[in-house]
Chain A
Amino acid sequence: METIKLKIDGRDITTEAGKTILEVATENGIRIPTLCHLDGLEDVGACRLCIVDVHGQLVTSCTTQVAADMEVLTQTKTVKEYRRMILELLFAEGNHVCSFCVSNGGCELQDLACELEMHSVRVPYAYPRNRIDATHPQFLIDRDRCVLCGRCVRVCAEVEGAHTWGFAERGSAARVITDLAVDWGAAESCTSCGKCVDVCPTGAIVFKGASNAEILKDPDLVARLIERREHE
């Protein structure tokens, strides 16, 4: 494996080629905020929150590989401002009312708002009104709380192999769907494994029967499953 040298936030770092900026930063204890990234799943750069400055350009650190002599800045004023705006847009696009949400206190979007010091949202709220799909016997999805990170889509395809979840439409009409946009309870491909519930970063996909702040998610599940498979 080729060894390369680069700088992150002024620190000289030696690492292996082929890794992403996010991987290298994390290995070296440098925190970059993420939302759609999840250890064990393929990175797609959907949320854009992990942007960093590379020679004056903003790139997603989860999908950009390190290169020799690369100079990465993770905390510039511009980077921070753009992350804040991305986060505000995510909040404005849905109905993220924490107070009665199942994931209150254990929500990655909420945690990011605290981390990035989002005190207010500067764009008008869209107030979407999507029907909650509670047709599955064990789980439900509230699309008003979905940030389109695609973790459910990826875990269902890459780990479970069921391919129940997918995306439909584009732009502001984009949404996650089950099978060919049928109710979840009618999606024949769903194995009811619940991995989508565990990896969903917000209160969008949850266990039925859970009340507010009863966080019952396990986002590390995927990494554990993959590690166990590699040991077989």
Chain B
Amino acid sequence: MEKQIHIEPVTRIEGHAKITVFLDDSGDVKDAQFHVTELRGFEKFCEGRTLWEMPGLTARICGICPVSHILASAKAADAILAVRIPKTGEMLRRMMNLGQFIQSHALSFFYLSAPDFLLGWDFDPALRNVVGLVQANPDLARKGIRLRAFGQEVISRLGGKRVHPSWAVPGGVNAPLSVEDHQWFLDNLPECKDTIRETIDLFKTSFDCEARGVLGEFDSMYMGLVAPGGKWEHYEGLIRIVEQDGSIVVDGHDPARYSDIIHEASEPWTYLKFPHYVPRGYPDGMYRVGPLGRVNVCESFGTPEADAALEEFRATASRCSGKVFDYHYTRLLEILASIERMEVLLADERILDPRVRAEAGINQLEGVGIHEAPRGTLIHHYKVDENGIIEKANFIVSTGHNNLAMNCAVKQIAKKYISKGNVTEGILNRIEGGIRAYDPCLSCSVHAVGQMPIQVSIVDTEGKLQRTLTQE
């Protein structure tokens, strides 16, 4: 008789999610689904609002990655104003995005994911969190917390506050960088660099190539923005898609024409849509974004230490890694690259220029804003009337791009660790870990610290509850 196992909620990710594992008659995994059970409605209720409100309004999609939405929204608005923003405005937006990369990646790694693999997958759930990490390795935990705090401070000093800074606006940013803040960034970067060097060293000595297979490995395409020459890019750039073997599928694609190559499919069992690469169709057009996606599509980071670390990473894997666990590795590489990129920006005297904003009216009725959020490519697409009122808004967020891949990862892990209906907490946590590796932002603020409230329901084909396993 077919059975279902539900894992709900999935903890230590941003938002609510539920996993259903379908067992066949013999108790082995037949299928698995990753459900997103929230409906936000942003695309709908943005209709009728003004273009100028959109960065502040869409920032509210999330409290972890508001900066990403602010920047994508401001870029879409730039396109509608038809302006090229002042160079310093662009540099400062880049600076904030790098701060966002550092804080978000540090949160994902040190607070949410590291407890699993540094303390152990089967460690006491009550302590398998950042508190347990502090007890087990206080030095690392302290440094990780300070690294994240630095990223937050970059956002706060540029935008006036840590969460939802209303600073990037259509046409640029609304305040230049002060000399005092510039100096503060310069003074604090070296400590961050030391921390990430140390963490990368710890990571690569703790996990060899085989150990990094714990969360599964599968083939997919990868998507991300790259700068000319294939360099890693986070703010501008053109769309590149590569195959698992690194061969290029799409290159130099204008982000404003994303809809030529990306469509979204819907399923009745989840609110999260399934973006896919159009020529391959659905679901074959699966691709992955985020740290692993960006690292797999780029040729190099373009900064010396990050490139050296990238070379080491690629020496332990193929040109493109398909390991889910390598999301964590590449997240650390990106923190290093972000710090080096910040150093380059801060060394350029133009960053202190007071001209940071271009003013203009509505000059085009449609605009697309794309950049790389920590979790992957983020797309904001607006259509406005001639007065700047939003008529249509479309958002494709990073977690959406990874939806097909997350389903694939869950199914693979479930197949490996569940057999004959045998379910234990450690196994369930590996499935959660498969999701968490993508650092999905399901747009909420639910964090369960120190507990893992999972309910496992085993349901037969007729929907009858056979067994419930609960962990308080």
Contacts and interface: CB of A to CB of B under 8 A. Distances in A.
A80 to B, nearest CB: 31
Interface in B218-253: none
A89 interface: no
Interface stretch (B50-58, B184-192, B298-306, B363-371): B50-58
Given A99-B56, A100-B59, A140-B50, A211 B387 contact: no
Interface stretch (B23-31, B111-119, B166-174): B166-174
B48 A132 contact: yes
Interface in A157-197: 185
Given A211-B52, A211-B170, 9 more contacts: A132-B48, A142-B50, A209-B361, A211-B53, A211-B55, A211-B56, A211-B174, A212-B166, A214-B169
The 10 A-B pairs of least Cβ separation, nearest first, read A212-B56, A100-B56, A134-B387, A100-B57, A211-B169, A213-B166, A212-B166, A211-B52, A100-B53, A134-B389
B50 A134 contact: yes
Contacts of B174: 211, 214
B72 to A, nearest CB: 15
22 contacts: A99-B56, A99-B60, A99-B164, A100-B56, A100-B57, A102-B53, A104-B166, A129-B48, A131-B48, A208-B50, A208-B52, A208-B361, A208-B388, A209-B361, A210-B52, A211-B55, A211-B170, A212-B56, A212-B166, A213-B166, A214-B166, A214-B169
A14 interface: no
Contacts of A137: 361
Interface residues of B, number: 20
A76 interface: no
B56 A132 contact: no
Given A212-B56, A214-B174, A135 B387 contact: yes
Contacts of A214: 166, 169, 174
B166 A132 contact: no
A196 B387 CA distance: 20
B204 interface: no
B359 interface: yes
Given A208-B388, A211-B169, A211-B174, A132 B164 contact: no
A117 to B, nearest CB: 23
Interface string A199-232: 0000000001111111000000000000000000
Nearest to A209: B52
A211 B172 CA distance: 11
A132 B49 contact: yes
Given A99-B60, A213-B166, A132 B50 contact: yes
Nearest to A185: B387
Interface string B28-51: 000000000000000000001110
Nearest to A134: B387
Interface string B155-183: 00000000010100110001000000000
A139 to B, nearest CB: 11
A149 B304 CA distance: 61
